[in-house]
Structure 1
């Protein structure tokens, strides 16, 4: 199990979660943030600082956003496990399911 960033993050991207994460496992896509499931240590430090409450423990993700566990995993299929977001910087793309969403939230 791991933490998951769900739809409320799309187009908000506050990035407080990145600053709080002690293992640097939160990556920046074009419109959303993603938690690398193999790098996350399940500490939960990111969840309380999210201003839109988009971060959930995988088994506690609300039903309407449960696909985001899969979306977070699939986002890293091409990228692999780079060992921290500071090693790669912003990715410049999103998972296809996020990329097709209508604009939402307030850009951060």
Structure 2
């Protein structure tokens, strides 16, 4: 099992999770975080830290595409280990549906 970031992170990008990760497996995009599934040690400490409930175990139904999306971007985006402010529109984007198709940016974040 591994943990992955799902669509509710898009447009919110809360970073409470990165500070508690013992192996620094979070990677930062412009408006989304990704967990490298091969680096995650399945400790689960990040999951309850996410205010948007965007971190889920890969054992939940229909997570295969999210595992691959997390893997793809974790391999090209910079690592993030320091908590930053969420995106300004985070509260209004929290819980929206269809964000992958309408809001997701492939651009990297700054990392750090």
TM-score under structure 2 length normalisation: 0.65
Structure 1: where are the runs of 5+ without partners?
Answer: 87-96, 104-108
Instruction: Find the counterpart in structure 1 of residue 102 from structure 2.
Output: 101
State the distance in 2 between where 1:58 and 1:32 align.
Answer: 18
Deviation at 1:46, TM superposition (A): 0.3
Deviations 1:49-86 (A, max 9, x none): 100101111012x53x652111011213446xx8x545
Which structure 1 residue ranges, 4+ long, deviate > 4 Å from structure 2?
Answer: none
Deviation at 1:10, TM superposition (A): 0.3
Q: Using a 3 Å threshold, how does the CA distance of structure 1 residues 76 and 102 change in structure 2: closer, same or farther?
A: closer
Give secondary structure in 2 for the equivalent of 1:27: strand
Instruction: Find the counterpart in structure 1 of residue 21 from structure 2.
Output: 21
Give secondary structure in 1 for the equivalent of 2:59: helix
State the distance in 2 between where 1:14 and 1:74 align.
Answer: 20
Q: Using a 3 Å threshold, how does the CA distance of structure 1 residues 22 and 9 change in structure 2: closer, same or farther?
A: same
State the superposition RMSD in angstroms. Answer: 2.5
Count of paired positions:
87
